[in-house]
Structure 1
Amino acid sequence: MGFQFRAGLGLEPWSVLNQGISLHTGLSMGTATILTGALILLLWVPLRQRPGLGTVSNVIVLGLVMDATLALVPVQHALAIRIPLLILAVLLNGTATGLYISARFGPGPRDGLMTGLHRRTGRPVRLVRTCIEVTVLAAGFLLGGSVGVGTVLYALAIGPLAQFFLRRFAIKGLPPEPSRVVAGDDAPSAPATIAE
């Protein structure tokens, strides 16, 4: 998130929201990220998501690392640096999502919202994540967050990247986490896994 911020080509949707909150409250981006993460956990209740060590770590560490990255990485001006920095930021976020969710210590608030909605609706992870990102982006934009080509790239790429890396980093030998699909005419006959 910090790399994408420093690329200056548009924030990822959650950072657009957090920046909008920061602009209206005077909180740092990291503090807004921590508070937003804590509030998202309330949405877990109807989804029957359970927090774990990964969840708590995500709420606290993500905001602290965001503030540290912004303090250590200088503002970039050359487009030849900003474009690769943006691409690296999006790829790292997709990779990190697959890695830490596959470890099964509990997803972070935002990813738990994604996996919870996936399980409750039966919709693919890529579709659920993309819908969440677009909704959050709209709210952040209305609050004055920075939107650009990087925002669009992230919003469209993170769902497919998360699904790709969840499959790649699935721990072999462990049974897949079941996906409780809502019954319907087009529901699969066997339970889907979270990586589908």
Structure 2
Amino acid sequence: MIINKELLIKDMKKFPGLLLAFLFCAYGLAQMKNLEIGMHSWSTLNLGLSTITNLSFGFVSQLIGLTIILFSLFLRIYPGIGTIFNMYFIGLFIDLIDHFNLTLTPENYILKIFVLLFSLIVLSYGIFYYLSFELGAGPRDGLMVGLVKITGINVKYIKPAIEVTVLIIGFLLGGTVGLGTIIVTFFGGYILDIIFKWKNFDPHTTTQRKLSDYLVIKEKINLKN
């Protein structure tokens, strides 16, 4: 077994776009959190654990991502470079965005709802964008895509089912739940589905790169050359 360097170099050229996609995701998540009207369900879980452990929000996100990767292995959902980078960089970017106060915090409640919807669109586009590179779905979205493939159920149903479950756990741990949480939980799947259709992206047929794809038998490489 050797490393397919050509494939690795080819995929490395996608890294700048991949990191930009993660920045979109991080901004959407950080913005939801700082509006304080309720958050994305995974962020509710992050906040609950962050409050209990006194660890930063982004670092908790990284730990949860790692846990999901390990759990997903039991479902035969294998990580790629994008999966590992997602786990690390989104949490890092969230902490940096918070550190430099880069989010909007309007006082008017109606404006907060509009900003929330904007952040949800940014997050959903970020999810589509990094999935489109096919370097491996993020831990949470890899679980979502894997369940879509296993069950054959549309993403607009699978995504809310996962997020409602996570939301309940996060709430029990002390995470904030509000109107924003309801909006994100029940409309996030529809917005993501709209973006998928707009970009002609089908999670049923996408082939995400796995780390094992870079390890190939030498004879196979010779045959290709």
| TM-score, normalising length: structure 1 | 0.83
- Superimposed CA distance per residue, residues 83-103 of structure 1 (whole angstroms, 9 cap, x where no aligned partner): 222111111111111111122
Equivalent position of 1:144 in the other structure: 174
5+ residue gaps, structure 1: 179-196
Which of 76, 90, 100 is equivalent to 1:62? 90
Whichever residue aligns with residue 159 of structure 1, its letter is G
Judge which range, 88-97 or 27-36, deviates more: 88-97
Counterparts of 1:103 and 1:3, CA distance in 2: 25
Q: 1:126: how far off?
A: 1.1
Which of 62, 67, 71 is equivalent to 1:34? 62
Counterparts of 2:193 and 2:77, CA distance in 1: 19
Residue 73 (1) aligns with residue 102 (2): yes
Counterparts of 2:206 and 2:201, CA distance in 1: 11
Residue 129 (1) aligns with residue 159 (2): yes
Residue 83 (1) aligns with residue 113 (2): yes
- 8 Å contact from structure 1 (residues 16, 141) kept in 2: yes
Equivalent position of 1:109 in the other structure: 139
Pair 76,171 (structure 1): closer, same or farther in 2 beyond 3 Å:
closer
- 8 Å contact from structure 1 (residues 130, 158) kept in 2: yes
Which of 49, 52, 74 is equivalent to 1:46? 74
Whichever residue aligns with residue 105 of structure 1, its letter is L
Equivalent position of 1:163 in the other structure: 193
Judge which range, 149-158 or 75-84, deviates more: 75-84
- 8 Å contact from structure 1 (residues 101, 166) kept in 2: no
Q: 1:76: how far off?
A: 4.1
- Superimposed CA distance per residue, residues 120-178 of structure 1 (whole angstroms, 9 cap, x where no aligned partner): 11111111111000000000000000011110111011112222222333479xxx437
Equivalent position of 1:177 in the other structure: 206
Q: 1:46: how far off?
A: 2.6
Structure number with larger C-alpha Rg? 2
RMSD: 2.0
5+ residue gaps, structure 2: 1-28, 208-225
Structure number with the higher helix fraction is: 2
Q: 1:81: how far off?
A: 4.0
Identical residues among aligned pairs (%): 34
Flag the structure with more relative contact order, 1 or 2, with Cα contacts below 8 A and sequence separation at least 6.
Answer: 2
